[in-house]
């Protein structure tokens, strides 16, 4: 099992774009317990709603969904 990075340390997160289904990665910085923001796909430029949080043990919970327009 990989060791978790220190709390608040930047992490590379892989995901699949919910529009074009291409695999992409992004660097996330979990400096607060829960974050939600919009980031454009680097392949198709559509907006992706990114949500992530850390639980008490430091495990990352991540989702990337279509932005309801």
pLDDT for position 3: 59
Q: Does residue 5 sit within a domain?
A: no
Residue 10 — very low, low, confident or very high, per pLDDT cuts 50/70/90?
confident
Residue pair 63/14 in contact by the 8 Å Cβ criterion:
no
Q: What are phi and psi of 58, to 5 degrees?
A: 90, 5
Q: Does residue 3 sit within a domain?
A: no
Q: Does residue 38 sit within a domain?
A: yes
pTM of structure: 0.76
pLDDT for position 20: 96
pLDDT over threshold 60, residue 1: no
pLDDT over threshold 60, residue 62: yes
Task: Name the residue range of residue 23's domain.
Answer: 11-66
At residue 28's C-alpha, the angle toward residues 5 and 46, to 5°, is 155
Q: Does residue 1 sit within a domain?
A: no
Cα–chain-centroid distance for residue 40?
12
pLDDT over threshold 70, residue 42: yes
């Amino acid at each position: 099992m990989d060791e978790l990075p220190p709390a608040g340390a930047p992490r590379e997160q892989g995901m699949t774009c919910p529009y074009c289904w291409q695999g992409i990665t992004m660097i996330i910085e979990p400096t607060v317990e829960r974050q939600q923001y919009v980031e454009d796909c680097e392949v198709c430029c559509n907006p992706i709603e990114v949500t992530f949080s850390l639980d008490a043990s430091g495990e990352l919970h991540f989702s990337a969904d279509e932005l309801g327009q």
